[in-house]
Amino acid sequence: MRKEAVKLITNIMYEGKLIFDLYESLGCPTDGQAYKDFIFDVTDLFVRGKLPNHNMQFFLDWLFDQRGNNLPKQSSGSLYTALSDLDGFISGVESRLGDDLTEEEDEFAQKVFEGLFVY
């Protein structure tokens, strides 16, 4: 397994869990003041350097575009699902690596994901 891949998988999923927990703590908002608070708090994480492995501009633009996404939590297009989706994390890692994960790295990603998100 490549050290760079292991580090990136771990860091991106950890950062994703920070964002997801923040989203849940605010009641999973999709609009209004609670959603503004969510975006502010995510921006604060970027400013304080807590999300160095995420592309700030892309991610914040994406969050702005998700405003008003009222799909049910378990829907494949919901914000809730997008913030807690293994495939999304893997594609983020692969785009940063510039290469697909090996089978062993993919299995490692699955274990890290389950450790952080499955409860």
pLDDT of 52: 87
pLDDT for residue 118: 84
> What does the pLDDT read at residue 54?
84
Alpha-carbon gap, residue 93 to 95, rounded angstroms: 5
Residues in the chain predicted with pLDDT less than 70, given as ranges, are: 119
In the prediction, which pLDDT does 82 show?
93
Which are the contacts of 78, defined by CB distance < 8 A and separation ≥ 6? 69, 71, 72
pTM for the predicted model, two decimal places:
0.90
Helix (H, G, I), strand (E, B) or coil at 30: coil
Cα gap 99→91, rounded to integer Å: 10
Task: Please report the pLDDT score of residue 119 as a whole number.
Answer: 67
